[in-house]
């Protein structure tokens, strides 16, 4: 699911530039977490759960930002 966030953010018609930038940082944070989990060659169940939780939180952030009725630039 996190791969789709990048595509979603590129089509940020309802996001202000600041919101899009902040969401991109969140996406990069998730990618770093995945890289950290893969570093030892095994992604444990706990790491998978943490990554899924981060992705879900980011999805909720994206939805809230897309629907907050702020004007885009």
Amino acid 15: pLDDT: 79
Provide the 3-class DSSP secondary structure of residue 14: coil
DSSP string covering 5-45 = HHHHHHT-TTS-HHHHHHHHHHHHHHHHHHHHHHTTS---H
Q: Tens of pLDDT along the chain (73 residues)?
A: 455 555 555 554 577 888 888 889 999 999 999 999 999 999 999 999 999 999 999 999 988 888 887 766 5
45-57 pLDDT, tens digit per residue, is: 999 999 999 999 9
Amino acid 32: pLDDT: 96
Decide: pTM greater than 0.75.
Answer: no
């Amino acid at each position: 699911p996190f791969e789709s966030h990048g595509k979603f953010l590129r089509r940020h018609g309802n996001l202000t530039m600041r919101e899009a930038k902040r969401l991109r940082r969140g996406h990069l944070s998730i990618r770093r977490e995945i890289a950290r989990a893969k570093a030892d060659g095994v992604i444990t169940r706990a790491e998978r759960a943490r990554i899924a939780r981060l992705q879900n939180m980011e999805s909720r952030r994206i939805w809230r930002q897309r629907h907050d009725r702020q004007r885009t630039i």
